[in-house]
Amino acid sequence: MITLCALLLSMAGATLVYLASAQQKLLPAPLRANSRIAALAVIAGGATAWLVAAGVGAGIAATLSTWMLTWVALPYLAWWRRAPQPIRAGTR
């Protein structure tokens, strides 16, 4: 149960960091700078939960892996949501 909480907290924190970035493409505008403080709090909670659930070495590895996978998946999710529409034959 704590592993699931650690996973969800880490993913939520990484998502908040991404959405507060000026480079994000999921929202029309990035989140306010105040959300970065919330993101850091959620990330710290997720890292702490990973450390409690898996120990120091595995907890650090799990935390970093969760952040990495989330930060790699979010730009692809943004691309998929805004994928170009196919051009119909006979139109210009």
Q: What is the DSSP letter of 58?
A: H
Confidence band for 90, pLDDT divided at 50, 70 and 90: low
Letter string b/e over residues 12-41, b meaning 16 or more CB atoms within 10 A of that residue's CB = bbbbbbbbbeeebeeeeebbeeeebebbee
In a domain, 63, yes or no: yes
In a domain, 86, yes or no: no
pLDDT digits (tens, 9 = 90+) for 30-55: 999 899 999 999 999 999 999 999 99
Whether residue 7 is predicted with pLDDT greater than 90 in this model: the reply is yes
In a domain, 87, yes or no: no
What is the residue range of 54's domain?
2-81
- The pTM (predicted TM-score) of the whole model is 0.83
How many structural domains does the chain have?
Answer: 1
Average pLDDT, the chain: 91
Burial class (CB in 10 A: 0-12, 13-18, 19+), 53: middle
pLDDT for the residue 11: 97
pLDDT for the residue 83: 64
3-state DSSP assignment of residue 85: coil
